[in-house]
Amino acid sequence: MRIHIKNGRVVDPASGKEGAGDVFIADGRISNEAGKADRVIDAKGLVVAPGLIDLSARLREPGYEYKATLESEMDAALAGGVTSLACPPDTDPPLDEPGLVDMLRRRAKALSRARVYPVGALTVKLEGASLTEMGQLTDAGCVAFSQANAPLADTQVLWRALQYAATFGYPVWLRAEDAWLAKGGVSHDGEIATRLGLPGIPPFAETIALATLLELVRATRARVHICRLSTAGGVELMRRAKQEGLPVTCDVGIHHVHLCDMDLGYFDSHCRLEPPLRSQRDRDALARGLAEGVIDCVCSDHTPVDEDGKHLPFAQAEPGATGLELLLPLALKWGQASRLGLAATLARITSEPARVLGVASGRLAAGAPGDVVLFDPAAPVRVSPETLKSQGKNTPFLGYELAGRVRCTIVAGNVVYES
């Protein structure tokens, strides 16, 4: 299958190139040669960019099929222009043994939609006590190891885990949150939590844990990716760590660059997220840190939750928001507010996460995987339960009209979504 995409505005964040042009795909890869195309796609008025790479999307399999299935969430991914996604290990059972990872990979492959990169559990059952068989999990297809949102309170275990991972060069993806300080908290510890009477998580729950992690990176030289920064203080610690040359990268959830604790309104359980939405000042620092490149990339942290999980008092509601289909429009919104060009904006959801993952996609250079998205940056996206393909309809953006509609998604040279 040879595809010729013409008349589009081609944006390749990896090279920074942007302008009118053609994109050719042959044998599943980006190609320089025009050749005779089996299919010509007219991309007039559309942006042609590498498919999106999402570093955190929960597909809810195995174990939570009543919340979402691989099918429903892969459809959501493609509708959102996401062609590669990493899924965290907090399934039921968690991704802590090779058989489970293998099964997930096979299921995903059989659907032949987006590329799925499983992130394995760092500790058995995510309990934070003993290490998983990282070697065998890597062989089964795990690209990194993580605790997802489960705490790892024991710093001895954390130290050993990083030493072991560093020995073999396995990347470790961790959230920075002190388990003791965060215990019982459901919102940012500030004026809003005080008014609403919600137990808070202080910002130093993040900075203390992050300082610990960075110190352990210094000691072990493990390759650590910090997931879902949430505080201004965290951004500053990351800035200094990078200046120092530590082998660390980090991301932020897309909700956290747009929303803050004020958006909780009257206990809106759609705003119950992990980490919690923090103050306006934190949100602004995260948006700025992402623009400056201190934060490498932004992810959807896609977490489909069924209605019963959200129709509960705020503290009891299940945390998380659906996000695969909103990642592009919300990233565009952030880019516009930050006065960034399209290439720089898209880099945070294509080439930068590709670098963290260590994959060749996320760019339009010849030879790169043929993963491409065509979207209309001005076309409206109405966020409603009816329009969302994800089984999770849980998002604080319900009722919003955003801009940036995906028209076509191509994975490995196959057109897998068109609208």
Partner 1 sequence: MQRNPQLNEKGELQHLLSIEGLPRDILVRILDTAESFVGVTEREVKKVPILRGKSVFNLFFEPSTRTRTTFEIAAKRLSADVINLNITVSSQTKGESLLDTVANLSAMHADIFVVRHESSGAPFLIARHVKPHEHVINAGDGRHAHPTQGLLDLFTIRHYKKDFGRLTVAIVGDILHSRVARSLIHGLTTLGVPEVRVIGPQTLLPAGVEALGVRVFHNMHAGLKDCDVVVMLRLQNERMRGALLPSAQEYFKHYGLNAEKLSLARRDAIVMHPGPMNRGVEIDSTVADGPHSVILPQVTFGIAVRMAVMSIVAGN
**Do you know the residue count of the chain?**
419
**Residues 412, 28 contacting (CB under 8 angstroms):** yes
- Applying the rule CB under 8 A, the residues between 255 and 294 that interact with partner 1 are 265-267, 269
Just list the catalytic residues: 301
Among 314, 334, 375, 397, binds partner 1 (CB under 8 A): 314
Closest to 350 (Cα-Cα) out of 6, 12, 9: 12
Does position 200 interact with partner 1 (CB under 8 A)? The reply is: yes
Q: How far is the CB of 93 from partner 1 (least distance, A)?
A: 23
Among 195, 221, 240, 382, binds partner 1 (CB under 8 A): 195
Among 155, 311, 382, 419, binds partner 1 (CB under 8 A): 311
Does position 39 interact with partner 1 (CB under 8 A)? The reply is: no
**Residues 31, 339 contacting (CB under 8 angstroms):** no
Element housing 353 (H / E): helix 351-357
Only segment of 135-143, 210-218, 311-319, 323-331 that touches partner 1 (CB under 8 A):
311-319
Does position 375 interact with partner 1 (CB under 8 A)? The reply is: no
**Distances from the Cα of 20 to the Cα of 14, 360, 365, angstroms:** 17, 23, 15
What 3 state SS string does 17-57 have?
EEEEEEEEEECCEEECCCCCCCEEEECCCCEEEECEEECCE
- Supply angle C-alpha 251, 227, 276, rounded to 5: 100
d(CA 394, CA 371): 28
**Residues 378, 398 contacting (CB under 8 angstroms):** no
Shorter beta-carbon distance to partner 1: residue 65 or 263: 263
Does position 385 interact with partner 1 (CB under 8 A)? The reply is: no
Does position 167 interact with partner 1 (CB under 8 A)? The reply is: no
Only segment of 8-16, 196-204, 345-353, 356-364 that touches partner 1 (CB under 8 A):
196-204
Does position 387 interact with partner 1 (CB under 8 A)? The reply is: no
Lay out the site mask for partner 1 across 174-193 (x = CB under 8 A, - = otherwise).
---------------xxx-x
Binding site for partner 1 (CB under 8 A): 189-191, 193-200, 202, 265-267, 269, 308, 311-316
